[in-house]
Copies of this chain bind each other. A is one copy, B any other.
Amino acid sequence: MASYRTTATEFLASGETVENYVRSLLDRIAVRDPDVQAWAYLDPEYVLSQARQLDAIPVSQRGQLHGIPIGVKDIMYTQDMPTQYNSPIYQGDAPVVDAALVAMLRSAGALIFGKTTTTEFASVTTGTKTRNPHGPTRTPGGSSSGSGAAVGDLQVPVALGTQTFGSLIRPASFNGIFAFKPTWGAISREGVKICSLTLDTMGFFARSVADLELLAEAVKLEDDEKVHAPFKVVGAKFAVCKTHVWPKVGPGTVDALNLAVQLLRAQGAAVDELELPDEFAIITTAHQQVLQRDARTSFMSQYIRAKSQLDPQLIEFVENPISNRDYLTGLDVLASLRPKMDHILNAYAAILTPSAVDEAPEGLASTGSPALCGMWTALHVPVVNIPGFVGKHGMPIGLSLVAARHQDRRLLRVCASVAPIFEGGGWKSGFFKSSHE
Spell out A's residues near B (CB within 8 Å): 77, 93-97, 100-101, 103-104, 107-108, 185-190, 193-194, 197-198, 219-220, 222-224, 294, 297-298, 300-301, 304-305, 321, 323-325, 327-328, 332, 335-336, 338-339, 342, 405-406
Contact = CB atoms under 8 A, between A and B. Distances in A.
Contact of A324 (B104, B223, B305, B324): B223
Nearest to A335: B335
A297 B103 contact: no
Nearest to A327: B406
A393 to B, nearest CB: 40
A104 B406 contact: no
B405 A301 contact: no
Contact of A103 (B188, B301, B332, B338): B301
Contacts of A193: 190
Contacts of A108: 304
A107 B305 CA distance: 6
A87 B327 CA distance: 37
Given A93-B97, A100-B298, A335-B338, 4 more contacts: A77-B95, A188-B297, A188-B301, A190-B298
B190 A324 contact: no
Given A97-B97, A194-B188, A107 B298 contact: no
A29 to B, nearest CB: 28
A197 B224 contact: no
B297 A185 contact: yes
Contacts of A93: 97
A407 to B, nearest CB: 8
Given A103-B305, A107-B305, A328-B405, A300 B94 contact: no
Q: Which of A100, A305, A332 has the most CB of B within 10 A?
A: A100
Nearest to A223: B324
Contact of A338 (B198, B321, B332): B332
Contact of A300 (B96, B104, B189): B104
A181 to B, nearest CB: 15
Question: Which 3 pairs across A and B sit closest by C-beta, in order of nearness?
Answer: A335-B335, A95-B97, A324-B406
Given A104-B301, A108-B304, A324-B406, A190 B194 contact: yes
Nearest to A297: B188
B324 A328 contact: no
A284 to B, nearest CB: 20
A293 to B, nearest CB: 9
B327 A332 contact: no
Contacts of A305: 103-104, 107
Contacts of A186: 297
Given A219-B300, A335-B335, A328 B406 contact: yes
